[in-house]
Every structure is written in structure tokens, then in C-alpha cells.
A and B are shown apart, each in its own frame.
Chain A
Amino acid sequence: MQTSLTQAMALVYRGDLVLAFRRWEQIAQPVVFFTMVTTLVPLALSPELGELREIAGGVLWIAALLAALLGLEFMYRADHADGTLEQMLLSGQPLAWLVLSKTAAHWTASGLPLVLVSPLLAISLGVPSDALCVLMTSLALGTGTLSALGAIGAALTLGLRRGSVLLSLLVLPLAMPALIFGARAVDMAIHGEVARGPLLLLGAMFVLSLTLSPLAVSAALRISQE
């Protein structure tokens, strides 16, 4: 009897999370980076809350995007090095679905913590509490999109030396639309406007990248074995 697909996906998700928590520095690093950058901004620019509020959307989004980028290269590297990737390819389960599970686990360990700490950092930059909901939603969709796009980059640069430089070059341009609409949504919310438009566009980008990325990643992972 074969393991059902949902069981296999749950196993991959749980396994990756357990491993991430056993190497907790990989979870802590993006959060520390995100916190450092946003707390340094008032020191470098101006402690005036009114001025900070004007740039808060952009600052929070740039810091979160770069912080989420930090963890991307670890996505498949260890699996490739220890041979478990080989075993996953030969597990007899549809690879694209297992890849989707791994992307979800990666987002839970690297994107979700950023979303959860973002309200605290936003308040320190003078963002009104009405805008926090839009901020968290936009960051959740944005980091999700980045995990999905980043998985393609991580799979394509597997086995390359200095792959991490190439990974940033591959993924950042693709993530630019998310940055533009995400920062715009937060900015609109800060000024009391309805941010529905940019949020819907972000949602569409998230759905598109989540649907197409597993197919691209599984093809790239098979190539990485050759």
C-alpha cells in the first residue's frame, strides 16, 4: 500500500519544520535582520514620527523582502548535499505537490515570523494602528510570493558554486512588482485610503506564483541531478 498524497505532503511539511526549528538560527536570522534595518532607519534619517510615517511603507517592505531573501538559498541546498533530494525524486509521489509542501514549510519558517513581528516595528515607525491589518496582509502575500519565486531560483542554482549571488539576481527582478504594489498598499492604508486595489493585485501575483512555481521547481530539481 502506498502513502496517500496528502499524508506525504503533511510528512514533508512537518519534517521540514522540525528541521528548521532544530536549526533555529535559520529562523532567527531574517527576523533579526528585519528588526535591525527598521530600527536603524530612525537613527540614520530622522526620529520625527511624522517624517518616518511617510517612508514607513517602503522601509518595512524593502527590509522584509531582503530579510526573506536571506533564507532562500537554504531551501534545497542541504537536501541536495545529503542525498535526501534524490530520495524525494524517487519517492514515487508527484514531485510538484511535495515541492508545494516544501515551499509552504519554508514560508512558515521564514516569511510568517516576519509577518508576525511587522506590527511592532511598524508602530515604532509611527504607522497608525488602522493600517496594521493591511501591512500584515500585504507582507503575508508578498513573502509567500517570494518563497514561491525563490524556490525556482534555489532549484535552478543548486549545485552551482557562488549560487547565492545568482539566486538574488534571478529572484529580485521577479519580486519587484510585489514590492511596488505591497509598499503602495501600506502607504495608502497609512494615509487612510482603501488599499483594496494593490492588495488584490498582490493576491493575484501570489496565486499565480504559487500555481506555476511547483511545476518549474520540479523540472529544475530533476535537471539538477544530471
Chain B
Amino acid sequence: MLRGVSLDVAAGQIVHVAGSNGVGKTTLLRVLAGLLTAEQGGVNWQGRPITTNFDSYAATLAYLGHSDGLKADFSARENLSHEVGLRRPVTAAEIDDALTRVGLADCRELPARVLSAGQHRRLAMARVMLTSAPLWILDEPFTNLDHVGVQELSGVIAEHVDNGGAAVIAAHQPPAIPRHSVNCVNLA
């Protein structure tokens, strides 16, 4: 599907993966996250192939895929404490802060199944924030978000990059991240 793709991501950088529908943006992101294996070539993290110690690589990345990775029967708060708790010990206060940050403070006890598609995306983004991973791989993070939501999320990404993180974002529109320029990789 993809051929001759090469990209570098350094700390403090944002890479925008662009291209029309079906060109392989999601495939590239899944290869970067280690969910798919490339037929040729590979992915290196800090100079080493990610396959040498996949679990330690996985611990340094936060992945937001097409599906939000939420349990419909868990409340917003339970979803975060379960998913983030697998990676690092997380306190109730941290979870409440993150939920307030993404505008879900009033929904924290509601089961995820009653939340809207946009609220699912916000909750998934709260999970990405809480993992405190240096590398964020985000597949269409702005889908279903309203205008305010897009601005808030862009602010969150900017803050992550300010703190020395990196982000790879697949999106149709070039993301407008405050204070930061975006390197574009066009697959088309």
C-alpha cells in the first residue's frame, strides 16, 4: 500500500500526515505504533528498531486510533482510571483535572455509552494526555469535535510539544497548533 515513505520525528516537533482518503494515513500510523509490521523497512525509536523491546517502546507512546478505545459500560472516570492505570499509577484528582480540561467535568460519572461521538473523542484525548507519553500518534483527532473542541485540543497538543513531546497527526485539514509550525508529510 505504502512505498518509499520516510519520516523523522524529533522532540518538540509536530508531523502532519496528509493525503486523500484511502491513501494509507492510518496504515502508516499503525506501522509507527507497532500495530502493523512493514513488509520492508522498519521503525526506529531513539536509534533502535522498535521490535527489539516493543513493550518499552509502547510505554513511551500514546496512540489514538479510529476507535476511541473506551468501554461503553464504564463511566468516563472508570475508563480513564482503567486505561491509564495499566501504564502508570494515576490519582482521582489527576483524572478529574483531565476531564475538566477536555470539558467533561459534568459527565465523569456517566457511562461512556450515553456520551456523544464528540465527547468520546474528548474522553479519548483525556486518556492520551494522562498517559504522559513523549510521543503522541493521533489518527484524525479532530473528528466529531466542534469548533471550540478543535481549538482546545490544538492547545493541548501545543502544550505537549512545549514540554518536549512530539506528535504525529493524520488529518485532512492541516492542524493549526498555536505557537508551533507543522511539518507536513504528504502521502498522495
Contacts and interface: CB of A to CB of B under 8 A. Distances in A.
Contacts of A225: 30, 35-36
Contacts of A78: 71
Nearest to A21: B73
Interface string A89-102: 11111110010000
B170 interface: no
Interface in B1-43: 30, 33-37
Interface string B55-90: 110111101011111111110001000110111110
Nearest to B86: A91
Nearest to A94: B55
A211 interface: no
Interface string A76-91: 0010011110111111
Contacts of A90: 33-35, 58, 61, 63
A86 B35 contact: yes
Nearest to A14: B82
Contacts of B86: 3, 8, 11-12, 87-88, 91, 93, 98
Given A23-B73, A84-B70, A226-B37, A11 B88 contact: no
Contact of A2 (B63, B65, B83, B88): B88
Given A19-B74, A88-B86, A226-B37, A2 B59 contact: yes
A86 B73 contact: no
Nearest to B133: A92
B70 A83 contact: yes
A175 B83 CA distance: 34
A22 B89 contact: no
Given A91-B58, A92-B59, A226 B36 contact: yes
A18 B79 CA distance: 12
A79 B61 CA distance: 20
B87 A84 contact: no
Given A3-B89, A11-B82, A23-B73, A82 B67 contact: yes
A87 B69 contact: yes
Contact of B71 (A11, A19, A226): A19
A46 interface: no
Contacts of A15: 71, 74, 82
Nearest to A19: B73
B35 to A, nearest CB: 5
B121 to A, nearest CB: 12
Contacts of B37: 226
A7 B82 CA distance: 11
A165 interface: no
Contacts of A23: 73
Contacts of A86: 35, 63, 65, 67, 69
B27 to A, nearest CB: 10
Closest 8 CB pairs of A and B: A92-B59, A83-B67, A83-B69, A87-B69, A91-B86, A92-B58, A22-B73, A90-B58
Interface of A: 1-3, 7-8, 11-12, 15, 18-19, 22-23, 78, 81-84, 86-95, 98, 225-226
23 contacts: A1-B88, A2-B59, A3-B85, A3-B86, A3-B89, A15-B71, A18-B78, A19-B74, A82-B67, A82-B72, A83-B69, A84-B70, A84-B71, A84-B83, A89-B35, A90-B33, A90-B34, A90-B58, A91-B58, A91-B86, A91-B87, A95-B55, A226-B36
